Amino acid sequence: MDRICVATSRARAYYALVSRLRRAGIPFTSMLPDSDFEGYELVLTTAEEAGQIGEKALTLEELDENPGVFKGQVVSRLRGKKDVVVVGVDPGKRMGLAVFYGQTRLVFNTFDSAGAVYSRIGAFARGIPSSGLLVRVGNGNRSMTAKLVEGLKEEVPEATIEIVDESGTSSGRSKMKGIQKDQVSAAKIAFRKGEVVSPGKTRTRD
């Protein structure tokens, strides 16, 4: 993602776009709206200035404030096609969450409540253009797993939900700085095929 630029003469809009890009860890270049954008795939700007830029424009008004959802929106636009949003959940007193757009990592989080997990997954489902939502939940805490599955069926009924054998997902240390153990487990769960408990509209894959 090295072919993105921010082009706006509005100071507040520029600050908002740059802040979101930095929080999402996306590299970018800054330019003026009347610049030549040849060589750039995507130009982040405002709705008012988008007419000067054309089809490469993606406006602040279209983008989410959450850095993970924001990153998913940008990646989706860059690829020019819709991919599956893949989510892994490691249930427990502290619940790890890992969200990917296809193979691209969007965000790792840890939550203390099931409600927060539902809400965050719902935000990704609603905010990112995709070909479907696949949620995989570990089976290490069976009562919490059952609660999560029922809550997810209500929050994101369109999702395919699988229960995954999470044995071995908590072994080893995270090699990524600042990433917690439950988040690493969630990432491993996200890409481990499980038992479908709610078929939704998403085609599952190995």
For residue 198, the model assigns a pLDDT of 87
The residue with tokens 């997954």 is 121
Say whether both 114 and 44 belong to one domain.
Answer: no
| Nearest in space to 194 (alpha carbons), one of 157, 169, 158 | 169
Contacts of 60 (CB under 8 A, 6+ apart): 8, 13, 16, 17, 44, 45, 46, 47
Say whether both 123 and 167 belong to one domain.
Answer: yes
Q: How confident is the prediction for the chain on average, in pLDDT? A: 89
25 has a pLDDT exceeding 60: yes
Burial of 93 per CB tally in 10 Å (0-12, 13-18, 19+): exposed
Say whether both 131 and 184 belong to one domain.
Answer: yes
Q: What are phi and psi of 92, to 5 degrees?
A: 160, -170
- Range of the structural domain that residue 15 is part of: 4-63
Per-residue confidence at 79, pLDDT binned at 50, 70, 90? confident
CB 39 within 8 A of CB 3: yes
For residue 206, the model assigns a pLDDT of 41
Whether residue 70 lies inside any domain: the answer is no
Instruction: Give me the mean pLDDT over the 27-48 stretch.
Output: 93
* 120-141: pLDDT as tens digits: 999 999 999 999 999 999 998 8
CB 159 within 8 A of CB 133: yes
Say whether both 43 and 138 belong to one domain.
Answer: no
For residue 170, the model assigns a pLDDT of 67
* 133-183: pLDDT as tens digits: 999 999 988 899 999 999 999 999 999 999 999 887 765 555 555 567 878
CB 161 within 8 A of CB 187: no
25: left (phi over 0), alpha (psi -120 to 50) or beta: left
Say whether both 95 and 141 belong to one domain.
Answer: yes
Say whether both 121 and 53 belong to one domain.
Answer: no
Which parts of the chain fold into alpha helices (H)?
A: 11-24, 67-79, 114-127, 142-155, 181-190
Say whether both 191 and 99 belong to one domain.
Answer: yes
Whether residue 15 lies inside any domain: the answer is yes
Instruction: Give me the mean pLDDT over the 91-107 stretch.
Output: 93
For residue 177, the model assigns a pLDDT of 55
Whether residue 174 lies inside any domain: the answer is yes
CATH code of the domain in which 150 resides: 3.30.420.140
87 has a pLDDT exceeding 90: yes
Whether residue 73 lies inside any domain: the answer is no
For residue 168, the model assigns a pLDDT of 72
CA 71 to mean position of chain CA atoms = 7
Per the structure, the count of domains in the chain is 2
Say whether both 47 and 88 belong to one domain.
Answer: no
C-alpha–C-alpha distance, residues 78 and 43, integer Å: 10
Say whether both 94 and 186 belong to one domain.
Answer: yes
State pTM to two decimals.
0.87
Whether residue 72 lies inside any domain: the answer is no
CA 159 to mean position of chain CA atoms = 15
For residue 132, the model assigns a pLDDT of 92
Say whether both 49 and 138 belong to one domain.
Answer: no
